[in-house]
Structure 1
Amino acid sequence: MFTPVSTRAASAYKTVAAETGVQGADPHQLVNLLFDALLQAMNQARGALERGDLETKAKALSKAVRILEEGLRVGLNLQEGGELAHRLQAVYAYSVQRLTIANMRNDGTLITEVTDLIEPVAQSWKDIRATALQPATGPGA
């Protein structure tokens, strides 16, 4: 009937930590957080599907679709982003379509397909920050 204090405290800490991370993040970090949450949601959905927990699978896939639609896709600047922004928009739209079908058919291979598609994009986004923070070396540096 009641949640143990340690569980409530851990949940409260997790919520505060997540909110603090978002509040203190720059736009690049926010996109990183979106990618992390997207990959986590898809992994959660795949695990739930393997366990036969269809309710958790549906909630996790719904979260993944919302991150793609309301976070990553909406954040694209199609006017200034050029071809890359348009290609990312197509990747996100395709991913939404595949995750929706995965949810309807309980098909883990489609979740894996989208994960395999998104992981390199997420890693490339992380690499942008790492490259930008490296000190300049070589002639003229």
Structure 2
Amino acid sequence: MFKAKGTELYQRLGLESQVQGASPHQLIALLYNSATAQLEQALLADSQGKDDVRRKHVAKCLGVIGGLSESLNFDVASDLPYNLHNLYLYMQGKLVQNQRQFSKSDCEEILALLETLSDGWGGIASKVN
């Protein structure tokens, strides 16, 4: 039990130091990584029959996607923030359904979308930094 709490604290401190020194672009990358990791953990928990753990990770992923949505800047002359907002709403709707009745294929679809968005976000890093 102590080892698990120590590991959790170490991870939290590592994340806090990443966040403190991160640019706005890097913060979004961290959110994508977090959402992806939470969904991967949800799928793992499902494969192990741990429904409560799965629901916890899906809920965390929902929160992270909410954070991504809140970070959108609609004060630009582009449809991109509106399109991303709609995509985030779609993903959140699927995840809410997953809380009621789990669908591995829906989780895998959302995971693929998050990975695509993360890859695209990473691809513009050199233009931002």
Q: Structure 1-normalised TM-score?
A: 0.84
1:34 Cα deviation from its structure 2 partner: 0.1
Q: Deviations over 1:34-72 (max 9, x none)?
A: 000000000001111111101111110000001111x10
> Identity of counterpart residues, as a percentage?
25
Provide the rounded CA distance (Å) in 2 between the counterparts of 1:81 and 1:67. Answer: 26
Counterpart Cα distance in 1 of 2:56 and 2:5: 21
Q: Runs of 5+ in structure 1 lacking a partner?
A: 134-141
Unpaired runs of 5+ residues, structure 2, are: none
2:64 maps to what in 1? 67
CA contact 2:39–2:107 (8 Å) conserved in 1: yes
The whole-number CA distance in structure 2 between the counterparts of 1:15 and 1:119 is 23
- Is the Cα contact below 8 Å between 2:29 and 2:118 reproduced in 1? yes
The alpha carbon displacement at 1:80 in A equals: 1.2
User: Aligned AA for 2:112?
Assistant: D
Query: Aligned partner of 1:67: which letter?
Result: V
For 2:71 and 2:21, how far apart are their aligned partners in 1? 18
Map 1:60-139 to 2 at 5 A: 60-69=57-66, 71-80=67-76, 82-132=78-128
Q: Which has the larger radius of gyration?
A: 1
Task: Go from structure 1 to structure 2 and tell me whether the alpha carbon gap of 1:33 and 1:81 turns closer, same or farther (over 3 Å shift).
Answer: farther
Deviation per residue, 1:5-54 (Å, 9 max, x gap): xx544333222111111111110000000000000000001111111101
TM-score normalised by structure 2 residue count: 0.92
